[in-house]
C-alpha cells in the first residue's frame, strides 16, 4: 500500500503528451485516469514540476486541472503539504451509491406522478445525445476515446438524470444528489464497463425502461428501476476499481 506523500510512481513521462481543444479537460481526464488506475497512488504528493514534465504541459492548465480534480474529490490540499491524491474507502463509495439510489428512485417516482409530453421529449433528447456518443465510442474503442468523447457521454447521462430530478420539483433533493455525485467522478462508471452489451444495458436499455415507466405514470416501477440502475452502476464501478487495486 502506498505510503503518505510518496512521489509519483514510474514511469515519470506520460505515454503521450496532452493535446486537445480543451487542454484543461484533457489534462484533468488523463490525471483522473492515472489516479484511478493506481499510477498516482493514494497519498501521492503531486508536484507541479513532475506533472508538467509527465504530461508535457505548462503550469497554468495544470493548476486548473488540479482544481477540477479537487472539486471531484480525487485530490485534496493539505496545510504545508500541497496537493495529495486522496482515496475514498470502498465503504464510503458504496454508501454514496446506496443513498443516491434511494434519492434518485424517489425523484423518478415524483417525476412519474406528473409526467407529460414535454418531459418525455426532454428525456428522449438527452438519451439521443448519450446514445450518439456511445455509438461513436463503439466505433473508436475506449482506449482511443478522447476527453471530448468522455465529456459527451458524461453530459448525456447527466442530462437524462437531471431532467428527471428537475421534473421531481424538489430543490433540496436535487442539491443532496448533486453533492453525492461530486464526491466521486461519475464519468468513470462508463469506463468500468467491460463489454459492449454491458454498456448498452446500463446506458440504453435501463434508461429506456425508466423513461417508459415515468411515461406510463407508474411511480412504483419508476422508483424501483432507478434504484436498480444506480446500484448496477455501483457494482460495475466497484468491481472495476477493485480489479485495478484501487483499494489495495
Per-residue model confidence as pLDDT tens digits over 102-155: 999 999 999 999 999 999 999 999 999 999 999 988 887 766 566 778 788 889
Task: Tell me the C-alpha distance between 143 and 155, whole Å.
Answer: 19
Question: Around Cβ 80, how many Cβ atoms within 10 Å?
Answer: 4
Quick count: other Cβ atoms within 10 Å of Cβ 235?
12
Q: Is the pLDDT of residue 18 over 60?
A: no
CATH of segment(s) 90-243:
1.20.120.530
The sign of the torsion formed by the CA atoms of 4, 68, 148, 165 equals positive
CA atoms within 13 A on the CB side of 129: 18
> What integer is the mean pLDDT of 190-196?
72
Residues of the chain within CATH 1.10.10.10 domain(s) are 23-85
Q: What integer best gives the mean pLDDT of the chain?
A: 84
More confident residue, 64 or 196: 64
Is residue 16 predicted with pLDDT exceeding 80? no
pLDDT band at 95 (very low <50, low <70, confident <90, very high): very high
List, by residue range, all CATH 1.20.120.530 domains of the chain. Answer: 90-243
- In terms of C-beta density within 10 A (0-12 exposed, 13-18 middle, 19 or more buried), how is residue 36 classed? buried
Dihedral, CA atoms, 49, 54, 60, 66, nearest 10 degrees?
-90
Q: Of 233, 228, 220, whose CA–CA distance to 106 is shortest?
A: 220
Residues 41-62 have a mean pLDDT of 88
Domain 23-85 has CATH 1.10.10.10: yes
Q: Kindly list the strands in the beta sheet with 75-78, ordered across the sheet, starting from the edge strand earlier in the chain.
A: 45-46, 82-85, 75-78
Supply the Cα-derived Rg of the chain in whole angstroms: 19
CA nearest 42: which of 86, 91, 92, 88?
Answer: 86
CA–CA distance, 28 with 61 (Å, rounded to integer)? 9
Q: Residue 4 — very low, low, confident or very high, per pLDDT cuts 50/70/90?
A: very low
What pLDDT is stored for residue 105 in this prediction?
98
Amino acid at each position: 500500500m502506498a505510503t503518505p506523500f510518496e512521489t509519483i510512481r514510474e514511469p515519470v513521462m506520460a505515454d503521450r503528451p496532452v493535446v486537445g481543444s480543451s487542454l484543461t479537460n484533457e489534462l484533468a481526464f488523463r490525471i483522473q485516469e492515472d489516479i484511478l488506475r493506481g499510477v498516482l497512488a493514494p497519498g501521492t504528493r503531486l508536484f507541479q514540476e513532475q506533472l508538467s514534465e509527465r504530461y508535457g504541459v505548462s503550469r497554468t492548465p495544470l493548476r486548473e486541472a488540479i482544481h477540477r480534480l479537487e472539486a471531484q474529490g480525487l485530490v485534496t490540499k493539505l496545510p504545508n503539504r500541497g496537493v495529495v491524491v486522496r482515496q475514498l474507502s470502498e465503504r464510503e463509495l458504496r454508501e454514496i451509491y446506496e443513498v443516491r439510489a434511494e434519492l434518485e428512485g424517489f425523484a423518478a417516482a415524483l417525476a412519474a406522478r406528473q409526467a407529460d409530453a414535454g418531459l418525455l421529449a426532454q428525456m428522449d433528447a438527452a438519451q439521443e445525445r448519450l446514445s450518439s456518443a456511445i455509438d461513436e465510442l463503439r466505433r473508436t474503442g475506449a482506449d482511443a476515446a478522447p476527453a471530448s468523447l468522455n465529456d459527451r457521454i458524461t453530459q448525456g447521462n447527466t442530462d437524462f438524470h437531471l431532467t428527471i430530478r428537475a421534473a421531481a420539483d424538489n430543490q433540496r433533493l436535487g442539491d443532496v444528489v448533486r453533492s453525492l455525485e461530486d464526491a466521486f467522478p461519475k464519468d468513470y462508471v462508463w469506463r468500468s464497463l467491460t463489454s459492449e452489451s454491458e454498456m448498452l444495458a446500463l446506458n440504453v436499455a435501463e434508461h429506456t425502461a425508466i423513461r417508459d415507466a415515468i411515461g406510463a405514470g407508474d411511480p412504483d416501477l419508476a422508483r424501483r428501476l432507478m434504484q436498480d440502475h444506480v446500484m448496477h452502476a455501483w457494482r460495475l464501478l466497484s468491481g472495476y476499481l477493485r480489479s485495478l487495486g484501487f483499494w489495495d
